[in-house]
Amino acid sequence: MSSTPIRTDADDERKWRDRLTPEQYRVLREHGTERPGASPLNYEKRDGLFHCAACNKPLFRSDTKYESGSGWPSFFAPIEGAVETQEDRSLFMRRIEVHCAQCKGHLGHLFPDGPQPTGERYCMNGVSLDFVPAGG
């Protein structure tokens, strides 16, 4: 887990604003959170991969997704090396932030209350993800 804040320059941020929708930018680049229950990915049950909506890096396999009851797409494990974490002390609490290992976009948070085999819950903002069905 890294404790170093993610920094980018103004030119990078202009490129992200051009590439992402306003809601994606708010979540991925400004560490926002979408409303619980807002993402259609909560109901996605097909085989496939969940990619970073900013840079298209594969992050989670569909066989690690489960219904957490939280209102956000949840996974018990990422693809190895796909995500990074750092401590988040915003909102007067201590949480573990999850971001894309490639573009550093904010994805959501990691909690220690998930199912086995990991006991972890990667609680992701659906707007941070794109689903790619198996085979295409």
How do residues 46-73 score in pLDDT, each as one tens digit?
999 999 999 999 999 999 999 999 999 9
Backbone angles phi, psi at 58, to 5 degrees: -65, 130
- The topology under which CATH files domain 10-35+43-133 is 2.170.150
Q: Is residue 22 over pLDDT 50?
A: yes
How many whole angstroms separate alpha carbon 42 and alpha carbon 45?
A: 9
Mean pLDDT of all residues in 16-39 = 94
Structural domain boundaries in the chain: 10-35+43-133
Please say if 123 is a catalytic residue.
yes
Band of pLDDT at residue 102, cut at 50, 70 and 90: very high
State the catalytic residue, choosing from 52, 100, 103, 123.
123
- Strands 58-61 and 48-52, by their bridges, are antiparallel
Read off the pLDDT of residues 75-92 as tens digits, 9 standing for 90 and up: 999 999 999 999 987 767
User: How is residue 115 written in tokens?
Assistant: 């199912």
